[in-house]
Structure 1
Amino acid sequence: MTVKPIRSVTIVGGGTAGWMTAAAMSKIFADHDLKIALIESEQIGTVGVGEATIPQILLFNRMLGIDENAFIKATQATFKLGIEFEGWRRQGHSYLHPFGSYGSDMDGVMFHHFWLNARQRGYEVELPEFCLQVLAAREGRFLRPVPNAKNSPLGHIAYAFQFDAGLYAKYLRDYAEARGVERIEGRVEHTSLHPENGHLASVSLQDGREYSADFFIDCSGFRGLLIEQALETGYEDWSDWLPCNRALAVPSERVRAPDPFTRSTARPAGWQWHIPLQHRTGNGHVYCSDHMRDDEAAAILLDNLEGRALRDPIQLRFVTGHRRKFWNRNVLAIGLAAGFMEPLESTSIHLIQSGIARLMTLFPDRSFNPADIEEYNRLTLQEYEYVRDFLVLHYRQTERDDSEFWRRCRNLPMTDHLARKLELYRTNGRVYREKDELFNETSWLAVMDGQGVVPEGHHPLVASLGEMEVDARLEQILSVIRASADHMPRHEEFIAQHCAAEPDLLSENV
């Protein structure tokens, strides 16, 4: 079979999705004869709700060869050790979903089973005390992993970033353009399809300029200019599982040292995010319009800012779900054009990243093999479903019944996948990570424990150690983690020493 290489790729839409895609392709195809162009209009604002990330972003930046300190300075970033959830289990209760693991596994059995054994015997130390990231986050500490400390918790510090999404897009634009990506200023007005196969042939701008390509990538956001408006792909609505459908976003003044974690605070009809950066704080209120008016939501957001709002809130309307096909014919959707999952667990930028990685693995030639397209769609749908189920866990496993919204959440439908996860944990504390599942055992354990799911038993092999031995090991682990946290500097001190940004940069994005 003759291979017909793709000669040209046109990305429609900039922002984080567009410029992440352009940057990755400019790096990976640096030695190939591939023309890459990106069309965006300065008249169209970008949606920047994805300022918080998860540790996989480090892999993307390293693939590009980005210097981490330079990237942090350019994007006004801070470090992130996890996400704190306030009021999700019940009002007045909080817990932290950390990026690091709990304790240390023993004799091939996950650590938390030993803690469960002691807990059932009256042990009073809570599970989060056995996680270095939890202690460090609470005390405002941060340190990168210490080289040659593999036997210490300090050698395994998982972290991510909290950054200005607008500045990140600008940083990647500079990166991509330096590697040959052509940026075209303009707004797409019309699209044309091939009469023979229905593939997208070209896009036309408002001023009449027309651009054709072998392959198009739709990064146009909720509008889905190519995947939906041109190809009429269709959309799967997941509102029955995740009913929030509005968000208000606003930046505020920084009034104190930034925390090394993101905060999600439950509100009467949704939740509020708090993302501290070097130059400002990102804030937003995600809510369900079935249970709250827009003016009420705005008042709650503005009344709960730590500093002065830097502009009026902008409103976003969305339907949680995804396109029926993420890749349709010669158009592939990335970012919000592909689907929307509320940013409760900071998955927005990761879904862009994983979509790009999956595309590179299954990159087509001009025959657009249906098997490649089908596999991309299957794997992407699976990832979205796994993320959806993890988000539903936060809402459904709540003790709150103080509003109509939370009473509704307690009765959200469960998928078979989520039901299996809960049943395994409730019986004997077992947590399994399915193949290719984004969230690992620590993540599921953190949220199930934080939301008050209590196992009836634990792994039977715990009984191979005597109770005194279990208790002694727990105390030793606790001591090591406490000493490791004490060794870490303050978050703001670490930034000041290694990667402080210029103080006068302020992005218009939220």
Structure 2
Amino acid sequence: MSSPIRKVVIAGGGTAGWMSAALLKKVLPHLEIELVESADIGTIGVGEATIPPIQTFNQFLGLDEKTFLRETNGTIKLAISFENWRVPGESYLHTFGAPGATLGFCGFQHFWLRAKKAGLQQSLWDFDLNYLSCQAGKFNKIQTENPVYSMGYAYHFDSSLYGQFLRRLAEQSGVKRTEGTIAHIAQNAQTGFIEALQLSDGRQLKGDLFIDCTGMRGLLLQQALGVGYEDWSHWLCADSALAVPSQRHDTTLPYTRSIARQTGWQWRIPLTHRNGNGLVYSSQYLSDDNAHDMLMGNLETEALDTPRTIRFKTGRAEQQWAKNVVGIGLSSGFLEPLESTSIHLIQSGIVRLLKLFPKDDILASSQALYNRDSKEEFETIRDFIILHYYQNERTDSDFWQDMRRLALPHRLEQKIAAFKDSATIFNEANDIFRDASWVQVMMGQGITPASYHPSADAYSDEAILALMQKIYHAKQQPIEQMLSHDEFLARFTAAS
């Protein structure tokens, strides 16, 4: 007998809970959706940087970009600056753009390598509009269909304000919010499916499908259903972070800074009202006291609070959809925020659920597809993060030298080998980082390919150099007309 899915209960608020509630109600307005959260239970709330697909999420919800930036104290993010990662004193940008232009059967890096052989002096990044904009501290929306001037961007924003913004939207759409603490989880004795959440005051919230947004506790997925956790700390050993806000700079950078320290790395995220700062580290290599001193000693502006400690274990739930529970956000797994993927994983998790959403009974085939794709997505992000650590040449601490000795996941080992040999990048369907991202990090971390695709040899030295100069000058053209980042934000978000 079929059991129609009529009510979804979301356990936990924060960014994960309210993103889930808002999108579910938008796509499936006939569903009854109830979210339970407690003001007494805090959220991690440091996910202040995003990647470009957040634009698609916001647009689908009908959010006005100007209002969104104003309400969340948001800024534009064009890239991440990786400083000291290969060696101290050196930096590179992983941008949301793509260097160069589409020239044929293979990526731009092959033609750039051919031009280097012919005497080209410019770096790969000199052909990237995002990079040039970051260097100039500028931004503007470019109204053109010409892909040469495409400039992908994301946002920095206050995640707690974003959650509140989405809460207002979701409640206006009919989502019911219940204040309360979950005290007991009622399960069906035969199937193990969750039937209701019992609150500490005795109220019961019954549902057909449950979304676990309880963070690292994994109250439903891991604690109630007993889903195991795949530990990746042998690859990514960081298990702690300190986070602290500080006063904003006079000039707002249009990118995130990721600064490698002697042990671990520090983030700096510019918002319109403050900076977000933090230090990610491993307790095997650095004590909490020393981590505190390292973070506070490297703030460029005055701290606005005392640092708070976050503990975590890198990895993923072995099933991210089990029985009638789907883990969204930190209940489904944790990857350190090096590439700003936390909020994206919330987005992709709920979008994946909506694509496979059950009409009646929960189907094993849909669960299998969901878990397969989630697994691959988590693993490809994990591998991208490992690449930054592994491909270093630092000699100043045991930490960085130990990172070079990691036994790599096989797929990452293949990726590095293919790029070293022939500048080739291959990607999986669920890899959120496309070719340009892998190229920039591979080269930024010091990998110089030994060869390139033979199609690049169709150009003579003179022809390839002339083509590169044409692209280079084209990339330079929009910069002069752009506004400073701060001026853009002031004009764009001005109340009408």
- Residues 242 and 392, structure 1, Cα contact 8 Å, conserved in 2: yes
1:506 is matched with which residue? none
Distance 2:180 2:248 in 1: 35
Residue in structure 2 matched with residue 22 of structure 1 by the alignment = 21
Q: RMSD of the TM alignment (CA)?
A: 1.4
Shift of 1:157: 1.4
Residue 112 (structure 1) aligns with: 109
Query: What one-letter code is carried by the residue in structure 1 that aligns with 2:4?
Result: P
The code of the aligned residue for 1:70 comes to T
How far apart in 1 are the matches of 2:2 and 2:196? 23
Among 17, 39, 49, which residue is 1:42 paired with?
A: 39
Does the Cα contact within 8 Å between 1:284 and 1:301 map onto a contact in 2?
Answer: yes
**2:335 — aligned with what?**
341
- Within 1, Cα distance between the matches of 2:373 and 2:198? 32
Tell me, in whole angstroms, the C-alpha distance in 1 between the residues paired with 2:493 and 2:298: 29
Matched with 1:151 is: 146
Q: Is the 2:242–2:279 contact (alpha carbons within 8 Å) kept by the matching residues of 1?
A: yes
What residue is the counterpart of 1:93 in the other structure? 90
Counterpart of 1:63 (choices 53, 60, 64) is 60
Give me the whole-angstrom Cα distance separating, in 1, the residues matched to 2:474 and 2:108. Answer: 15
In the TM superposition, residue 396 of structure 1 has moved relative to its aligned partner by 0.3
AA aligned opposite 1:151: N
* Contact 2:118–2:461, Cα closer than 8 Å, also in 1: no
Matching residue of 2:457: 463
Q: Return the alpha-carbon distance in structure 1 between the equivalents of residues 102 and 63 of structure 2.
A: 34
Q: CA deviation at 1:263?
A: 0.6
CA deviations 1:342-390 (Å, max 9, x no partner) are 0100000000000001000111245211111111111100100010001
Whole-angstrom CA distance in 2 between matches of 1:35 and 1:390: 38
* Match of residue 285 from structure 1: 279
Offset of residue 107 of structure 1: 3.4
Q: 5+ unaligned residues in a row in structure 2: which ranges?
A: none
Task: State how far apart, in whole Å, the 2-side matches of 1:380 and 1:152 are.
Answer: 31
Q: Residues 81 and 159 of structure 1 are in contact (CA less than 8 Å); yes or no, is this contact kept in structure 2?
A: yes
Aligned ranges for residues 265-304 of structure 1 at < 5 Å? 265-304=259-298
Alignment of 1:52-451 (within 5 A): 52-146=49-143, 149-151=144-146, 153-154=148-149, 156-451=150-445
Q: Would you say the 8 A contact 2:101–2:148 is kept in 1? A: no
Mean Cα displacement is larger for which, 361-370 or 165-174? 361-370
Deviation, structure 1 residue 232: 1.1
The answer on whether the counterparts of 1:49 and 1:343 sit within 8 Å (CA) in structure 2 is: no
- Does structure 1 conserve the Cα–Cα contact (< 8 Å) formed by 2:126 and 2:132? yes
Report the 3-state secondary structure (helix = DSSP H, G, I; strand = E; otherwise coil) of the residue aligned with 2:401. Answer: helix
SS at match of 1:312: coil
| Conserved? CA contact 1:214–1:366, under 8 Å | no
Matched residue SS, 1:372 = helix
Percent of residue pairs identical: 46
Q: Distance in 2 between matches of 1:90 and 1:262?
A: 19
Instruction: State the AA in 1 paired with 2:163.
Output: A
Secondary structure at the aligned position of 1:272 is classed as strand
Whole-Å Cα distance in 2 between the matches of residues 264 and 500 of structure 1? 30
SS at match of 2:478: helix
SS of 1:92's equivalent?
Answer: coil
* Worse-matched range after superposition: 46-55 or 172-181: 46-55
Q: Secondary structure at the match of 1:408?
A: helix
Structure 1 residue runs of 4 or more that deviate by more than 3 Å after TM superposition: none
Write the letter of the residue equivalent to 2:340. Answer: S
Q: Deviation at 1:25?
A: 0.8
Provide the secondary structure at the position in 1 that maps to 2:372. Answer: helix
What SS does the corresponding residue of 1:371 show, helix, strand or coil? helix
Q: Is the 8 A contact 1:143 1:157 kept in 2?
A: no
Question: Does structure 2 conserve the Cα–Cα contact (< 8 Å) formed by 1:274 and 1:283?
Answer: yes
1:255 is paired with a residue whose SS is coil
Letter aligned with residue 9 of structure 2: T
Is the contact between residue 11 and residue 211 of structure 2 (CA under 8 Å) also seen in structure 1? yes
Conserved? CA contact 2:33–2:176, under 8 Å: yes
Structure 1: how far apart are the matches of 2:456 and 2:328?
Answer: 46
Distance, in Å, in 1 between the alignment partners of 2:233 and 2:257 is 24
Instruction: Note the residue ranges of structure 1 that are not aligned, 5 or more in a row.
Output: 502-510
TM-score w.r.t. length of structure 2: 0.98
Within 5 Å, give how 1:3-14 maps onto structure 2: 4-14=3-13
CA deviation map 1:94-142 (0-9, x unaligned): 0000100111122333221111112234432111111000010121111
Following superposition, the deviation at residue 3 of structure 1 comes to 5.2
Once residues 20 and 361 of structure 1 are traced to their aligned partners in structure 2, the CA distance between those partners, rounded to angstroms, is: 16
Q: Is the CA contact (8 Å cut-off) linking 2:5 and 2:361 kept in structure 1?
A: no
